[in-house]
Chains A and B, each alone.
Chain A
Amino acid sequence: MAKPRIAFFDFAGCEGDQLQIANLEERLLDILGHVEVVSFREVATGHSDDYDVAFIEGSITRPEDEIRLKEIRKNAKVLVALGACAAIGGINCLKNFLAENVYREEVYGNSARWFSTYAARPLKSVVTVDAEIPGCPIDPAEFARITKELLLGRTPWIPDFPVCVECKQAGNVCRYEMGRMCLGIITRAGCKAACVSQGAHCWGCRGLVPGANLDAARIVMDRPGTSRKAIQDLLRFFLGDTGAAL
């Protein structure tokens, strides 16, 4: 059987997710033994339009991005959104809360109208996405697992419960017990509560868990010592393209 041909593409993003794949180090060589990489611009010369699986990083931020994405969709049998920017719009959507002329001028001053841009959006706003590997950055182990499932022809599964479940397993003290805010209550698990376990809180980079109760979450967050503005800040951090952000 011919090896599946895989390709990597990127739109507006930091390419940190492709770096996580490079960071699989020796395990990367194992995975590469089972596939043929036809395009991985970050680490290899060469490109082909003949591929089975397309991994795509980054958000769509310009009309011409859509044309290119649709072309990739046409070529790929399986299209995978890699990371928060591709899967849920992520940090790029912060600019969507500013008026377009404001953010253009803030950065470019007099040259504000030299280039094209529009509201940042995830891949699924433009094309059908077959699988998501969420997170900012992605978890390399989850990438390896999902890629394996795709290569076996299965529909990959990602956790459909909130970060709180893994956070309890990790033995962390709840941030709300500490008088802090945290989005673990509405965020899809799969990161092993990576940020809470490092002393921080959850920013929601893996997107909303299916059936997230946003009204209840707002009640939990809205308590003495926090401001509505702080809640809004947190919900806009990665979730700007979802119903969570106001």
Chain B
Amino acid sequence: MAKTPAKTATAKPKKAKSPATPVSVPENVPGPKKVRVHYLTRVEGHGNIVVDVEADGTVSTCRWEVPEAPRFFEAMLVGRDYTDVHHIVSRICGICAIGHQLASLQATEDALNINVSEQTHLLRRLALHAENLQSHLLHIAYLVLPDLMGVDSILPLAQTHKEAVLKFIGARRVSNEFSRLICGRTTHPQRMTPGGFTMFPSTEDLVTLRGMLVDTLPNLDFAVDFFAGLMDKFPKFERETEYVALVSPSEYAMYWGEIGSSRDERRPVRQYRNVTREYIIPTSTAKWTKNQGESYMVGALARFNLNADFLMPRAKAAAKKLGLKKGETNPFLITIAQLVECVHTVEEAITQVDELLIRGIREEAPARPSISAGRGAGAVEVPRGILFHFYEYDDNGRIFQADCVIPTNQNHANIQRDLDALVPQLSGLSEKELELKLSMLVRAYDPCISCSTHCIDARGLDDGARSLVRFNRK
């Protein structure tokens, strides 16, 4: 077994000699202010928390910054043919590739008037379930659990809690196999196309999948029990905010629905701009969003708060066991909402596989579009929250304009408000305790910053590889 990175890690960062890191910055800063660098790890992409600490140890402010390199996906789409678009946007994020493809296909099909079959919808719903399970388990087990257990990564847990770790890893393997059987692979799947699929799972594939999903349920029960014993490790913190997610009159909305909010009326997806209202702030780096309040939350907890009544029975029982109730305002518990969703996703996927088996899988050609200029919007719930794609096509079926609003960008403002509200709780904590608590908060949102199609590097100083908690001590 590898030596854990823990020992080297705690000792090394301060000695980091790379001129590309901001470590060398403090010497140039006038006044008594000191900047110290730490690494916020176990998140996708790059993000920093900057903490200003007064001379007496009180924390005055915390800031959330995103210095990820911008990638210009919306511009890259201009002029591209409708058959390529979902394969390009898939590359926005390696974790939510399926979700990006689905939102993209919905927008394209809306714009070009393509109507797909019920079987296509069922297969796409399954693909979305596979991705949610995969991403949630990655977040819960690999990214958050180490914090709760007081270690640096899942690797030491493989020795101390072998049974649990193997169960988590086993469930994740199932999730990857799940997406392989439905859409080809987990990351940048090949089978989905405007109008349908290029290849289909066989009946045997579906039977295999069903067996795997049924076998996963007890492992998830184990995970629920395991986390039920860890609930006191989550920091106590409450801040009510606006919760935004897809809603539907008949189901726990993931694949489609209307835009719902805890503080606002329901809106059709095409009116997404009235909800997201993107804006840019100079000190931080991604486009931020706000609706009714100063910020809103998307993701598993927002979905749970709006739609918990529609959870499948086993998922409802899991929520009860974990003590998660509708109206929960502690953002640290997003992870717990994700765990409840894992149970729901597997339960619902089993019923959908059954439906496909009863109907019998048909190899159908993708529905064809009638190419004419048009606009269309798509929205799906991806692991980190509601994702919008909006396209305008020209007469040749090529993109004239594209807009993608990514869940993590919608959460940035809310992360900042949470940090503001957390500040009074932070004074007197040691640097290590501060770092852990702040990292845990940001990590709870499971920020997928590589996703952020439009992020601006306003600082121009980041070293990219190292996400950081940075302390300004006065």
Contacts and interface: CB of A to CB of B under 8 A. Distances in A.
A215 interface: no
Contacts of A161: none
A92 interface: yes
A199 B197 contact: yes
Nearest to A46: B9
B19 interface: yes
Contacts of A9: 464-465
B18 A108 contact: no
B138 interface: yes
A106 B78 contact: yes
B88 A94 contact: yes
Interface string A2-36: 01000001111111111110110110010011111
A46 B7 CA distance: 8
A198 interface: yes
B138 A33 contact: no
B429 interface: no
Contacts of A233: 80-81, 84
B142 A43 contact: yes
Interface stretch (B119-127, B168-176, B204-212, B222-230): B168-176
Given A62-B457, A65-B464, A137 B94 contact: yes
B42 A43 contact: yes
B221 interface: no
B396 to A, nearest CB: 9
Interface stretch (B187-195, B233-241, B320-328, B381-389): B187-195
Contact of A45 (B71, B91, B146): B146
B10 A199 contact: no
Contacts of A107: 70, 72, 74-75, 453-454
A152 interface: no
A44 B152 contact: yes
B148 interface: no
B424 interface: no
Interface stretch (A110-118, A124-132, A142-150): A110-118
Nearest to B454: A107
Contacts of A34: 2
B158 interface: yes
Contacts of B45: 15
Interface in B1-43: 1-6, 8-10, 12-13, 16-20, 39, 41-42
Contacts of B93: 14-16
A90 B92 CA distance: 12
Main secondary structure of the interface of B (DSSP, over half): loop
Interface string B84-105: 1001100111110100000000
Contact of A230 (B4, B71, B81, B465): B81
Contacts of B9: 38, 45-48
Contact of A41 (B39, B81, B146): B39
B155 A13 contact: no
Nearest to B78: A106
B199 A68 contact: no
Contacts of B270: none
Given A41-B42, A65-B69, A108-B456, A50 B8 contact: yes
B170 to A, nearest CB: 8
Contacts of A35: 2
A107 to B, nearest CB: 5
B398 to A, nearest CB: 9
Interface in A211-246: 230, 233, 237
A49 interface: yes
A200 B191 contact: yes
A61 interface: yes
A46 B70 contact: no
Interface in B395-450: 450
Interface in A34-68: 34-50, 58, 61-62, 64-65, 67-68
A149 B329 CA distance: 50
Given A3-B3, A18-B94, 9 more contacts: A15-B93, A22-B142, A29-B155, A41-B39, A41-B466, A41-B467, A44-B4, A44-B42, A48-B8
Interface of B: 1-6, 8-10, 12-13, 16-20, 39, 41-42, 44-45, 69-72, 74-76, 78, 80-81, 84, 87-88, 91-95, 97, 138, 142-143, 146, 152-155, 158, 166, 169, 172-173, 176, 184-191, 193, 197-199, 280, 282, 450-451, 453-454, 456-458, 460-467
21 contacts: A14-B450, A15-B45, A16-B94, A16-B188, A22-B138, A25-B172, A32-B1, A32-B155, A37-B5, A39-B465, A44-B42, A46-B9, A62-B457, A68-B18, A68-B465, A71-B19, A103-B72, A106-B74, A108-B454, A115-B457, A200-B191
